[in-house]
């Protein structure tokens, strides 16, 4: 069972903008995006540690200069990301 991570109020990145917490949700990253996130972290010498939210900047064809908030739960093998939800 994945525990929900509580983020403090503020703004957080999703691709090329920052949004207030009330417009965001945390989801399991799609497999292709997770592969990109892990490879970008490795290429930039950034460790994705369990239980710690990390802002990760990515540069790829699909996401030129994008930033994601990445979270690796203690009890899940998949990365999670914060995404914007329609309001």
Question: Is there a domain that residue 2 lies in?
Answer: no
State how far the Cα of 52 lies from the Cα of 34, in Å rounded to an integer. 16
Question: Is there a domain that residue 1 lies in?
Answer: no
Write out pLDDT tens, residues 31-63.
999 998 999 999 999 999 999 999 998 877 766
Question: Is there a domain that residue 49 lies in?
Answer: yes
pTM (predicted TM-score): 0.83
Question: Is there a domain that residue 33 lies in?
Answer: yes
Domain containing 17 equals: 12-84
Q: How many domains does the chain have?
A: 1
Question: Is there a domain that residue 44 lies in?
Answer: yes
Question: Is there a domain that residue 54 lies in?
Answer: yes
* Mean pLDDT, residues 63-73: 88
CA dihedral defined by 53, 54, 59, 60, rounded to 10 degrees? -30
Residues of the chain with pLDDT > 70, as a percent, come to 92
Question: Is there a domain that residue 4 lies in?
Answer: no
- H helix intervals, the chain: 31-43
Query: Above 60 in pLDDT, residue 2?
Result: no
Question: Is there a domain that residue 31 lies in?
Answer: yes
């Amino acid at each position: 069972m994945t525990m929900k991570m509580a983020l403090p109020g503020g703004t957080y990145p999703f691709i090329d903008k920052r949004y207030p917490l009330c417009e965001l949700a945390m989801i399991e990253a799609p497999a292709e995006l997770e592969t990109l996130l892990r490879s970008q972290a490795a290429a930039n010498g950034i460790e994705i540690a369990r239980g710690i939210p990390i802002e990760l900047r990515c540069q790829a064809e699909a996401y030129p200069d994008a930033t994601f908030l990445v979270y690796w739960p203690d009890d899940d093998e998949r990365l999670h990301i914060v995404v914007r939800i329609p309001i």
